[in-house]
Structure 1
């Protein structure tokens, strides 16, 4: 089972490892990653100069004009300019640094110029973009001055045996001058000195890619931390998505209840009323037929009552409220077509909402075991770990369950995700299947 980037669980398959003949230290100077990150560092200097020359004068001018009305919209324009540069920087980071950055939340405005200005000034995203334009400039200067000279020096020294002939032919000296004054000159011209120079160049060439990767890592941190959405924004977006899932799930549950009532108990009660009406009409004419119809109606009443009890149990069983998960899950297991062993080891009871979701989750999983697994035994285990409620349903069926295939497991995973829960599916072809659900305890 592979790991998901957000929760630690998932179904994505990791790529096959690549086998290289050369070790990483020898490959690094020629890898595409090195050239992309080096290009990013080179481009950072001119771009950061533009960013700095935009943000500092604009913010300074708007700050000086804050005593007038002009300074406020000017500050908003300055911040929006920084946000526009942020779009470029995120695209550059995606292309050259290989880092995926979500777009931050747009400016919230109710319409109108003043609302837009207020939205820009109140947005933390805008101010973080401004910080990026200010702090990235000195870092870009340092990274440029560290990476480019060392890169050129390493390759120049390493290739010195190939271009040393330039000095005696065009400069009138024996080789690259290492030291010189009015009385003494030192040139790199002997075979040993040439070989030593190339060796030093090789060491620098092999070391520079790792320096570039370290500098690029700092760039990644700055871009993600200042130009991407903050943790709070991501949490707000996640909660909004979860709220939509909860609303959709509740609406689906209401539609299911309405459909079950309409097609089940309601239809049966309508037919029952008609049968009783006919029995009433035959009461004086044919008492025996009327008695038979009343007897049939009595049977229909029992069936309708059973359907209503099943429907109420599906919404929220009374045994769950009265006696907790242990008794409620044992009741569910007793109705399963497959023999189920239930083990519940809990020090107490979670909040009713989590308890209800846990009951619903196990019920759905046991229904899947009955309908699709082909198993002849199953196990339900419930326990608490730290502040998490753990549920695990295992069966010895045919396997092949996949939560990413748009099945009922996908909807169940969304329901758990709405309350910060996790659904992990381990179901290789041929079985066995182990499905683990994790919920917050929230006692």
Structure 2
């Protein structure tokens, strides 16, 4: 008797291979929708014709508004109805929480859609929500923010607005396909116009061609109005932006004051433990040399003077190093290119330097950029186990862009690293931005942008 197992296994394998969508593909699509929703809209936006014609771009956007508005309206009504009705047995609480979470994700999907089709950047109002605490605590904090309810209001209002938009967006298509619909014998209505004959459908096609320009203007106007509508509800409010700005300024000011205090203490310690002790020793050696001169011991006095001379050169070098740590003279005299090249030449690992700055930058910008590079290279030498680092500095309009990368272990985390936090505080004091790309085992790349306009 033969074993049926191999044949059944092969049959299952063949069936799974013939399926157009397997589990891995579905998982990749789901991850893309969650992690990079804008890529989906970018793909649709990049279809032939849509990327080239503004009218087609706006038509697709309005049609999607109608479809998605209906979807989110059904999700909201069903979720809230079931959740509220089951609150008495506590089952409704997780249903309501899940409904709100899905709608917030839907609002983020809308932000990505507006950005892709209308080129309107809508920053997330949830960027500064605290990440500590459990899910329940973080969920409760999120629900208490006005942005959640604005997102839900947007998705509910998207239903009637989307129906209006999809109705207007389909009017040109109705005119264009009227002769084809008449030929196949389908019901042919355009708004309140009942078309009964093929000749009448040809006349409707002519009317559609005549109305194409005003309809295109109407479609573009609706898309523009939708963008303004999205700005009102999906973007952070002016009050939230100002509150966030005040918090950032308060934090950066406190960090700068703390950094100044620590820097002053470091300078005091370096002077006390280094140059001051050497100067005391130098004064004592010179005193003993004078005593030996007075006693006629010229050879002993000569040895002490020579030793004092070497000690004085060491003190001068230490003072130069200390001054360089406060503000290097080469930076003031020759600019960032020479100062960064000098840092790279003294680095413990090879550092490639690429600087493209046609003119000098403001003093505070150059100073911040210099110390950012110094601290970053110090962190690389201490912690990254890298064998190569690179520094690239360019000017992009009104921003100075600094990119510092290495081939080390990676895994740098802005939230955990105190060195990176110090860099961020120094950069934010000038309204700059810091981004860290550091996958495990893939090296680290710091991207710093400082306004210099």
TM-score, normalised relative to structure 1: 0.51
* Matching of residue 35 in structure 1 with residue 80 in structure 2: yes
The structure with the largest alpha-carbon Rg is: 1
Cα distance change on mapping 1:355 and 1:229 into 2, 3 Å: same
Match of 2:412 in 1: 401
Match of 1:229 in 2: 239
Q: Which has the higher contact order (CA 8 A, sep 6+)?
A: 1
Cα distance change on mapping 1:265 and 1:16 into 2, 3 Å: farther
Match of 2:97 in 1: none
Rounded to whole Å, the distance in 1 between the matches of 2:141 and 2:277 is: 65
Q: Report the alpha carbon displacement of residue 287 of structure 1 after superposing the two structures with TM.
A: 2.7
Secondary structure in structure 1 of the residue aligned to 2:245: helix
Q: Report the alpha carbon displacement of residue 33 of structure 1 after superposing the two structures with TM.
A: 8.9
Secondary structure in structure 2 of the residue aligned to 1:402: coil
Cα distance change on mapping 1:224 and 1:399 into 2, 3 Å: closer
Match of 1:328 in 2: 339
Match of 1:276 in 2: 286
Q: Report the alpha carbon displacement of residue 38 of structure 1 after superposing the two structures with TM.
A: 9.0
Q: Report the alpha carbon displacement of residue 363 of structure 1 after superposing the two structures with TM.
A: 0.9
Q: 2:368 aligns with which of 357, 366, 385?
A: 357
Cα distance change on mapping 1:374 and 1:406 into 2, 3 Å: closer
Q: 1:241 aligns with which of 220, 245, 251?
A: 251
Deviation by residue 1:147-204 (Cα, 9 ceiling, x = unmatched): xxxxxxxxxxxxxxxxxxxxxxxxxxxxxxxxxxxxxxxxxxxxxxxxxxxxxxxxxx
Q: Report the alpha carbon displacement of residue 296 of structure 1 after superposing the two structures with TM.
A: 1.6
Q: Report the alpha carbon displacement of residue 285 of structure 1 after superposing the two structures with TM.
A: 5.1
Rounded to whole Å, the distance in 2 between the matches of 1:245 and 1:15 is: 37
Deviation by residue 1:413-440 (Cα, 9 ceiling, x = unmatched): 1111121112222222223221111111
* Matching of residue 414 in structure 1 with residue 425 in structure 2: yes
Cα distance change on mapping 1:280 and 1:337 into 2, 3 Å: same
Secondary structure in structure 1 of the residue aligned to 2:401: strand
Instruction: Select the structure that is richer in helix.
Output: 2
Rounded to whole Å, the distance in 1 between the matches of 2:234 and 2:450 is: 34
* Matching of residue 427 in structure 1 with residue 426 in structure 2: no
Secondary structure in structure 2 of the residue aligned to 1:423: strand
Mapping for residues 37-186 of structure 1, pairs under 5 Å: 98=143, 100=145
Rounded to whole Å, the distance in 1 between the matches of 2:246 and 2:141 is: 29
Deviation by residue 1:198-252 (Cα, 9 ceiling, x = unmatched): xxxxxxxxxxxxxxxxxxx99x949974xx8353344334323322222222222
Cα distance change on mapping 1:32 and 1:300 into 2, 3 Å: farther
Secondary structure in structure 1 of the residue aligned to 2:404: strand
Match of 1:90 in 2: none
Cα distance change on mapping 1:289 and 1:402 into 2, 3 Å: farther
Cα distance change on mapping 1:293 and 1:379 into 2, 3 Å: same
Mapping for residues 239-388 of structure 1, pairs under 5 Å: 239-283=249-293, 284=295, 286-388=297-399
Q: Specify every segment of 5 or more residues in structure 2 that has no aligned partner in the other structure, as ranges.
A: 1-30, 36-67, 85-138, 161-228
Q: Specify every segment of 5 or more residues in structure 1 that has no aligned partner in the other structure, as ranges.
A: 1-13, 19-23, 40-93, 103-135, 147-216
Rounded to whole Å, the distance in 2 between the matches of 1:278 and 1:259 is: 28
**Would the aligned equivalents of 1:265 and 1:307 in 2 still touch at CA under 8 Å?**
yes
- Stretch moving more, 350-359 or 241-250: 241-250
Rounded to whole Å, the distance in 2 between the matches of 1:99 and 1:267 is: 59
Rounded to whole Å, the distance in 2 between the matches of 1:422 and 1:37 is: 45
Secondary structure in structure 2 of the residue aligned to 1:281: helix
Q: Report the alpha carbon displacement of residue 36 of structure 1 after superposing the two structures with TM.
A: 8.4
Cα distance change on mapping 1:222 and 1:328 into 2, 3 Å: closer
TM-score, normalised relative to structure 2: 0.50
**Would the aligned equivalents of 1:28 and 1:34 in 2 still touch at CA under 8 Å?**
no
Q: Report the alpha carbon displacement of residue 335 of structure 1 after superposing the two structures with TM.
A: 0.8
Secondary structure in structure 1 of the residue aligned to 2:376: helix
